[in-house]
Amino acid sequence: TCGICVEKCPFDAIEIINLPQELTEDPTHRYGENAFGLYGLPVPEPGKVTGILGPNGIGKSTAVRILAEEITPNLGDYGADPDWETVLDRYRGTELQNYIERLMDGDIEVARKPQYVDQIPKQFDGKTRELLEHTDERGQLDYLVDELSIAPVMDQAIDSISGGELQRVALAATLARDADFYFLDEITPYLDIGQRVKAARLIQELAEDDEDRSMLVVEHDLAILDLLTDTLHIAYGEPSAFGVVTPPKSVRNGINEYLKGYLTNENMRIRPSAITFEQHAPRETAKSAPLVEYPDLSKSYGDGEFSLDVEGGTIHHGEVLGVVGPNGIGKSTLAKMFAGQLEPDEGELDFLLDIAYKPQYIEIDQPMRVDVFLSSITDDFGSSYWNTEVAQPLQLNRIMEQNLTDLSGGERQRVAIAACLSKDADLYVLDEPSAHLDVEQRVQATTAIRRYAENHDATVLVIDHDIYMIDLLADRLMVFDGEPAEHGHASMPQEMRAGMNDFLSDLEITFRRDERTGRPRINKPGSQLDREQKKQGEYYYAP
């Protein structure tokens, strides 16, 4: 071995062209003998938002704990007592020198938004207002509460509010602090697209507001990461063995290289195949035979607290229908009606379809092993075909022997997607498959769903807030609008262009295309392209 590898050469997993320069040097930090090693560090830049793009388990939190002075990096010498003087020597003359000097002077105050907001109620017992007032160091709380629409839950107990509300409260609590270094570990979970864009703008505002503030963000929604950050580090490696944080790249190049699966400066292939977007004509599939035609439907809860109206329409055989719209607008309600779990008040769904349904909130309470569970669903379990098409892209092999009840959110999501796709059904309904997945798992899950649909002529309905996932998956679009938690309206399925225009005009967001790759990028509001496209009514497929 070369001294990096422990049990097995980690490079098996990566098709390596040259040994990356970073790995021939000592790591920044190693947890112990045969333990995880981190190479490189992100560089917080004053007045800027820096992003880290990469899968989980690759050392992003370790890097942040170093920058927050919680870990003194040992530079690979895990036996010795590390000290910051030595670290400073190592980074003298690099972009990190200044930051490390300030850190050693005790000049750096850190504010941090944790990744798993669901844990907050376990640590804080009280009302939203109490939590937020506690962090209001800049006198900006009213503004943040207003911008993030938190007012309705201010007097609710923290343990009674929804995931999306908790995420916005956590963002407000972090951004209300008066710090030098802000670290936001994922900003989009549980948020819809409008809320994601709003959160991104607030973070940018805070960075621009003070030249000494640095923001560091980990984010798996690529459209938002692209919008939000000024520079980008890619993190790659072998989860739980080693991770490499590249030097900063431009956001555009960083995301393009990531999607391409090849890092140019590092001469490093991180994925066998590239992810590509169709720039112009959206796929046309509306010509295939109808799978179902459904009438106008309506459904309300309680005594009309929330009501949903659905325009009748047709779902075609073999198409992937994307479903988009804000939170609380009735998307899951429609999915449940299609799945036969909920009766419409008006309109009848009398189709005799077998539906495979992955709900938004996955409840698994059987103490059963993943492999036992999945083999009870399909006879194909374990076949080389099933392994290639389902298990491998969803990274199930490592968790086959675990109990369903012990899985993390992302692991549970992948098992649930696999279970849904493994069923023999006429219509596959996937409610928010991107939730809890890191960026690489999203890319893989998207590929698996798309391939499955094509190879099986399967008809799929995908509800999601990740616009790249929807773009890569959907042939047509169903758009929800209305007033969240009051009333919702669902359009009939539309062609992609019309559907995106319908959806994005409500949000007042336009996309341009990256010249080199055709990748969609959110326009700066009020920019020339933004204004032109709005005038032409072309929000997504700009001419």
> Which one of residues 174, 214, 332, 459 is an interface residue with Mg ion (CB under 5 A)?
332
Instruction: Dig out the tokens for 405 from the structure.
Output: 């009840």
Residues 353-372 that bind Mg ion (CB under 5 A): 360
| Binding flag, residue 433, ligand ADP (CB under 6 A) | no
Q: Using CB under 6 A, which of the segments 59-67, 76-84, 102-110, 363-371 binds ligand ADP?
A: 59-67
Alpha-carbon distance of 478 to 494, in angstroms, equals 6
Q: Does 327 bind ligand ADP (CB under 6 A)?
A: yes
Q: Which of residues 28, 62, 422, 517 is near ligand ADP by CB under 6 A? A: 62
Question: How many whole angstroms separate alpha carbon 455 and alpha carbon 17?
Answer: 32
Among 16, 485, 498, 529, binds ligand ADP (CB under 6 A): 485
Distances (CA, A) of 446 to 37, 153, 466, 472: 30, 35, 11, 7
From the list ligand ADP, Mg ion, none, partner contacted by residue 31 (C-beta under 5 to 8 A by kind): ligand ADP
Q: Which is nearer to ligand ADP, 240 or 447 (CB)?
A: 240
How far is residue 118 from each of residues 160, 290, 392, 499, 523, measured CA to CA in Å?
A: 11, 41, 29, 33, 32
The alpha-helical segments, DSSP class H, found in 301-438 are 331-338, 370-375, 384-386, 409-422
Q: How far apart are CA 533 and CA 74, in angstroms?
A: 52
CB of 186 to ligand ADP, least distance (A): 10
> In the complex, what is the shortest distance from the CB of residue 25 to ligand ADP, in angstroms, rounded to a whole number?
19
Min separation Cβ 361 and ligand ADP, Å: 9
Burial class (CB in 10 A: 0-12, 13-18, 19+), 321: buried
183 binds ligand ADP (CB under 6 A): no
Stretch that binds ligand ADP, among 91-99, 300-308, 364-372, 519-527 (CB under 6 A): 300-308
Among 35, 80, 151, 274, binds ligand ADP (CB under 6 A): 35
Least gap, CB of 70 to Mg ion (angstroms): 36
Binding window for ligand ADP (CB under 6 A); candidates: 31-39, 199-207, 251-259, 497-505:
31-39
CB atoms within 10 A of CB 38: 25
Q: Binding of ligand ADP at residue 236 (CB under 6 A)? A: no
Q: Length of the chain, please? A: 543
Q: Among 44, 322, 328, 499, which residue sits at the site for ligand ADP (rule: CB under 6 A)?
A: 328
User: What is the C-alpha separation between 336 and 356, in angstroms, rounded?
Assistant: 11
Please, which residues bridge with residue 78 across strands? none
Using the minimum distance from each CB to ligand ADP, give the nearer residue, 245 or 504.
245
